[in-house]
Structure 1
Amino acid sequence: MALNVNPLISYADLELPLPAKRQLWEAKSAAEWKRLYHQSMTTERVPSFADLLRDMSQLFVFQDRIDTQLTALVLLHGMSAMINEYHRLRFISTGDSKHWHALVTNSRQQELDQAIQHFRMVCSELCVQSRPEIVLVCEVVSMLLHMSLEELQLFAGKEDKQEARRVYNSALEWITSPDSRRAVWHAGQTIRAAREMAPGSLTGFLAIGVYYASLAFWSYSVVSKAKNVQLLGSPAAHLFSRGPTVFLDGEEVADVSKFVTLGCGLPALQSPGGPAFLADPATVMQVVQDLLRGQMPNETIPPLVQSLAQLMGDLGHCAREGG
């Protein structure tokens, strides 16, 4: 997920039983392990990861016998591989494709969205509350369903100006669809989950997920302004100038549904200085930077986190310079 590449092992090949409950792995002695093992031992077969993909409700049924936290994360990563496949199919079915129909990809997107919603419902019924990192990864996966990470990275300058121009029209098409607003909503919820993480724990892929969320905000703002220049001859965005303030990192209230469905409202993040509107990408990037760096003292910030924060700062600076 971090590198946006195919996994080495397909999710369909994982037929081993799901990992046993955490207490077994953390047993202090052989005697304690044996006691816990006999307590959890039954004749019923523990499902595999492939079984879980077929029926996610088994996560709830077997929660007393498996490591639910690890299993939930593995399940999310499996769904992210499916989302990668969806975007690749979508790429070849757009434009003048003679063999693939967009209806198929749209149907696949709906199926994946329903699967993620089902995962959320199952997690809400677990005896142990989902940890913030599971919520964060779930929101990142949901966000990736509604945006092409590869195209947005290219648009943000991952390769060169020529590649950025190549995906420009695709980005303009994305910004006029509800997918762009669903993506930034889930990006906002990623930020919300990140704020609930324990100090010092927002590292590794979790930090990368926060960076991907910031890329969604930046792209939404920059592409919206470009679209308005194309339509109105001015970056003064109608997409940012009507309706109430919609906090993407807040509760899912009625105004959120109006924003996602109709594009009504001023999308923003919460910050100590008041709303950080997506119309001001430099300020939004600063808010996310502060979140990453504020998780730990300066002298202990890991190089990866420092690099991601610097990338956000550079994107924010470019947006400010581009005006």
Structure 2
Amino acid sequence: MNDVYLEEANADAQALLDLYNTTDYNQHTIPAFFEQIMVPAPDFMGVDYMQPPPDLTAWMPEVDWLGQVDIFGNDFTPVIDQMLEAQVSHDVALPSETQPPNVTDTSHEKIDSNSAKRRHAVFKQSPWFWVPERNQHAFSEHENITLDERNVDLASSPHMPYSSNVVIPDRLSTGARDRIFQLVSKTARSQITIPSFPSADCVDKLIKVGIAKRTETDAWIHPYTFESETARPEYLTALVAAGCVCFGIPSVSRTGLALQEIVRVALNNLSENDNSVIRDLEYLQASMLWLDIGAFCGYRRKMEIAESSLQPLVTALRRAGRLDYVRYPAVAPSAEDGEEELHAKWKQWVEQESYKRLAYHLFEHDIHMTMVKHRPPLITYAELTLALPASKALWLASSAEIWRTRYLEMDISSNPPSLRAILKDEAAILCLHLDIDVQIARSSYLHGIAAQIWEHAQQSVLLHESSDPSSQLWARSRQQKLYQRLQREDFLLSRSPAVTCVLHQFLQMFLHVNLDLITRFAGKCGESAANSAYTHLSPWSQTKEARIAICHAGQVVRAARHIPPYQIRGPDSFMLYHAIMVLWTYSMMVRDRAKKTGTTTPMLAQPSSPPSKIVYLDDAASYNQSDIDSFILMNSGTPCLHIISTHQSVVSESGAPKRPEICNLKYPSQVMKVGVRLLDATHPDVDRETGPPLMRALCGLMEELGGLR
């Protein structure tokens, strides 16, 4: 009887789908796609068919981002001395695995009849993408902004701007500060009123924050040869902007974004007046700084401009030969070098290493944009034949003498490997010399694999069921090979930074799901595209591929919880968002299939059947690997996630252990709750409205999608 019911239900569902896809059928007699999928019992007569679905751009500001505020306002200048000296520790608390789960039952959620109206109202005021308006320009949102230091009040940042203990010896002079002020006033012209400007000490500290922040990851700006007295003002201003956006104080961050805009315009003017600067290291570094700031700042206009402006920097480095090994002749100190000769060699070596680190940083930035923005890469891994950067011990030597001592003590390789070399030979990544920066090597290797995964995804799009068997076999073999290359213990949380682990798990997820279909199903490209995506994702959700994808999506969530506070605000936030969207889509397919088959109907419930075992997708693999394997291979168990904040206490106010809240993937709204709770917790003690705009946009979108019934 049950089998007959299932067959009839499937036949009815297929008939409805065929009817929807029939070209000569009057589509206005069928409810909107989102109402069919997301509302159990739609009102066929009350549907707004042109209603667009939620999209990230709906929560991203466009122009009116600065408002009528003082760019160096009353809380701009923080007590930076205290912040540079303070050491803040953050403990990540996770609930005990022995505590009984508190599974939230949302089976009786009420349908919100006003959700369609709210979504429609949001989209009437927000375009799908940024649409440039007439007379809109770089400073159109900065009019009537004053830079008056008399209103500057030193205030502490809610968090440490950086965790590096690097001490930068340079000190900004009043003359260098004046050159920055002249650049700002000249670039902004009469469009911004500047009655005063921060003192040299304040600007100096912001510059040092901007440099020190870079040393936390790939350290592509050398702190010990930095000389503000001879540096380009555009470069100095870019460093000030980079320092501003690290503080977590809204007015200071807004100042950084305004200075980023000034740097962008100033660099463009500089290259127009003097073409030779596009080969200058400081010009290229300043360009990379403003691109880093703008690419994930959360403001649509700035993000699109940053994305479209990456090509000139790539071209400049490529045409200068800085992606090729031939531009990097060997520079080695000797024990016989005099002081002058040694210092000259050190400076030459630092300049070469700066170009190397900039090139690899640019490559990783490009791959981030490729994976999270779904666009082709601008740099290929095959063209990066320049050697991997030298070890941090050499790079962060604070003087020429220390550099020589460390250099002579090391066994320096005569032919250091490049990214192309370690991708070509799998064993090369396992036996790196001590004179290579291992962190950059592993990160570059992972991004090189990411580029190959992107290529595989694009080639797979051209395959279909009627493709020749050899092509299908090749695609499957290539997928397995790439997946195998990602099975490395080097990228476990115990051995790599959490940000690297997020990318590592994201790539394994990416290999088993079409993210373009996921975003289309969520409504980014409209209702018709969402309907088409649904026809592909519904059968996908029942495959082993889907179960592998959501398992790695759960591990993205787990790795993101280990990122230190205030540090999720770049591509990692987009990776987390995409992981949540994969889990949410899977959940939507499961719920839709349950409605069609009637498995949620009380009459069909089987009380005698034992409860399915809970499989936590965001637990460490060592805890439940056998359960995960059973779920992937045999679809046994109930996939779930923990709903916790990054720094949530596991003890209640009464002192009793808390029962962790559990997200069952049967309930899509709970999946979105996992993502929102995690992103909100990345900035503890910071109100969402005053937090990073990108976090605000992502949380807003997930809450809106999670609210659909």
Measured after TM superposition, the shift of residue 214 of structure 1 is 0.4
In 1, are the aligned partners of 2:615 and 2:637 still within 8 Å (CA)? yes
Aligned partner letter, 2:686: N
Tell me the equivalent position of 2:590: 224
Partner Cα distance (1:266, 1:166) in 2: 28
Aligned partner letter, 2:500: I
In 2, are the aligned partners of 1:72 and 1:134 still within 8 Å (CA)? no
In 2, are the aligned partners of 1:73 and 1:137 still within 8 Å (CA)? no
Q: Evaluate the alpha carbon distance shift between residue 210 and residue 43 of structure 1 in structure 2; reply closer, same or farther with a 3 A threshold.
A: closer
- 1:252-275 CA-to-partner distances (Å, cap 9, x unmatched) read 221111111111111111135422
User: Given the alignment, which residue of 671, 675, 699 partners 1:288?
Assistant: 675
Aligned partner letter, 2:692: P
Measured after TM superposition, the shift of residue 234 of structure 1 is 5.5
Normalization by structure 2: what TM-score? Answer: 0.42
Are 1:245 and 2:636 counterparts?
A: no
Tell me the equivalent position of 2:686: 298
Aligned partner letter, 2:463: S
Q: Evaluate the alpha carbon distance shift between residue 294 and residue 123 of structure 1 in structure 2; reply closer, same or farther with a 3 A threshold.
A: closer
In 2, are the aligned partners of 1:69 and 1:134 still within 8 Å (CA)? no
In 2, are the aligned partners of 1:191 and 1:210 still within 8 Å (CA)? yes
Aligned partner letter, 1:159: C
In 2, are the aligned partners of 1:188 and 1:213 still within 8 Å (CA)? yes
SS in 1 for 2:429: helix
Aligned partner letter, 1:121: E
Q: Which moves more between the two structures, 11-20 or 54-63?
A: 54-63
Q: Evaluate the alpha carbon distance shift between residue 43 and residue 201 of structure 1 in structure 2; reply closer, same or farther with a 3 A threshold.
A: closer
User: Given the alignment, which residue of 615, 620, 634 partners 1:262?
Assistant: 634
Q: Evaluate the alpha carbon distance shift between residue 114 and residue 98 of structure 1 in structure 2; reply closer, same or farther with a 3 A threshold.
A: closer
Tell me the equivalent position of 1:163: 529
Count of aligned pairs:
311
Tell me the equivalent position of 1:309: 699
Gaps (5+ residues) in structure 2?
1-370, 645-659
Aligned partner letter, 2:695: V
Partner Cα distance (2:611, 2:449) in 1: 36
Q: Evaluate the alpha carbon distance shift between residue 108 and residue 43 of structure 1 in structure 2; reply closer, same or farther with a 3 A threshold.
A: closer
The within-5 A match list for 1:135-284 is 135-230=501-596, 232-233=597-598, 243-252=612-621, 253=624, 254-272=626-644, 273-284=660-671
Tell me the equivalent position of 2:405: 35
SS in 2 for 1:101: helix
Partner Cα distance (1:56, 1:312) in 2: 39
Partner Cα distance (1:39, 1:242) in 2: 63
Partner Cα distance (2:695, 2:375) in 1: 21
In 2, are the aligned partners of 1:289 and 1:313 still within 8 Å (CA)? yes
Partner Cα distance (1:229, 1:310) in 2: 28
Tell me the equivalent position of 2:482: 112
SS in 2 for 1:267: strand
Tell me the equivalent position of 2:434: 64
Partner Cα distance (1:246, 1:39) in 2: 51
User: Given the alignment, which residue of 434, 451, 454 partners 1:81?
Assistant: 451
Tell me the equivalent position of 2:373: 3
Aligned partner letter, 1:34: R
Partner Cα distance (1:305, 1:56) in 2: 37
In 2, are the aligned partners of 1:242 and 1:264 still within 8 Å (CA)? no
In 2, are the aligned partners of 1:155 and 1:165 still within 8 Å (CA)? yes
Q: Which moves more between the two structures, 134-143 or 62-71?
A: 62-71
Partner Cα distance (1:42, 1:283) in 2: 54
Aligned partner letter, 2:571: F
Q: Evaluate the alpha carbon distance shift between residue 37 and residue 301 of structure 1 in structure 2; reply closer, same or farther with a 3 A threshold.
A: farther
Measured after TM superposition, the shift of residue 235 of structure 1 is 6.0
Q: Which moves more between the two structures, 298-307 or 185-194?
A: 298-307
Partner Cα distance (2:446, 2:546) in 1: 21
Normalization by structure 1: what TM-score? Answer: 0.88
Aligned partner letter, 2:564: A
Partner Cα distance (2:575, 2:694) in 1: 12
- 1:120-164 CA-to-partner distances (Å, cap 9, x unmatched) read 13556xxx9311111111001111111111111111111101111
Q: Evaluate the alpha carbon distance shift between residue 282 and residue 4 of structure 1 in structure 2; reply closer, same or farther with a 3 A threshold.
A: same
- 1:255-309 CA-to-partner distances (Å, cap 9, x unmatched) read 1111111111111111354221111121221122111111113256211122112
Tell me the equivalent position of 1:53: 423
Q: Evaluate the alpha carbon distance shift between residue 13 and residue 242 of structure 1 in structure 2; reply closer, same or farther with a 3 A threshold.
A: farther
Q: Evaluate the alpha carbon distance shift between residue 39 and residue 305 of structure 1 in structure 2; reply closer, same or farther with a 3 A threshold.
A: farther
- 1:11-31 CA-to-partner distances (Å, cap 9, x unmatched) read 111111111112333222222
In 2, are the aligned partners of 1:226 and 1:235 still within 8 Å (CA)? no
Partner Cα distance (1:83, 1:304) in 2: 26
Aligned partner letter, 2:388: L
RCO (CA 8 Å, sep 6+): is it higher in 1 or 2? 2
In 2, are the aligned partners of 1:92 and 1:100 still within 8 Å (CA)? no
Q: Evaluate the alpha carbon distance shift between residue 39 and residue 301 of structure 1 in structure 2; reply closer, same or farther with a 3 A threshold.
A: farther
- 1:204-261 CA-to-partner distances (Å, cap 9, x unmatched) read 011111111101110110122233445x1566799xx962000001132211111111
Tell me the equivalent position of 1:90: 460
Question: Identity of aligned pairs, percent?
Answer: 31
In 1, are the aligned partners of 2:397 and 2:403 still within 8 Å (CA)? yes
Measured after TM superposition, the shift of residue 99 of structure 1 is 8.7
Measured after TM superposition, the shift of residue 41 of structure 1 is 4.8
Q: Evaluate the alpha carbon distance shift between residue 40 and residue 173 of structure 1 in structure 2; reply closer, same or farther with a 3 A threshold.
A: farther
Measured after TM superposition, the shift of residue 196 of structure 1 is 1.1
Partner Cα distance (1:257, 1:81) in 2: 28
Partner Cα distance (2:529, 2:435) in 1: 49
In 2, are the aligned partners of 1:60 and 1:122 still within 8 Å (CA)? no
Q: Which moves more between the two structures, 220-229 or 209-218?
A: 220-229
Aligned partner letter, 2:694: L
Partner Cα distance (2:594, 2:422) in 1: 45
Aligned partner letter, 1:292: L
Q: When you count helix as a share of all residues, which structure comes out higher?
A: 1
Partner Cα distance (1:100, 1:57) in 2: 29
Gaps (5+ residues) in structure 1?
none
Partner Cα distance (2:496, 2:664) in 1: 30
Q: Evaluate the alpha carbon distance shift between residue 94 and residue 291 of structure 1 in structure 2; reply closer, same or farther with a 3 A threshold.
A: same
Q: Evaluate the alpha carbon distance shift between residue 244 and residue 288 of structure 1 in structure 2; reply closer, same or farther with a 3 A threshold.
A: same
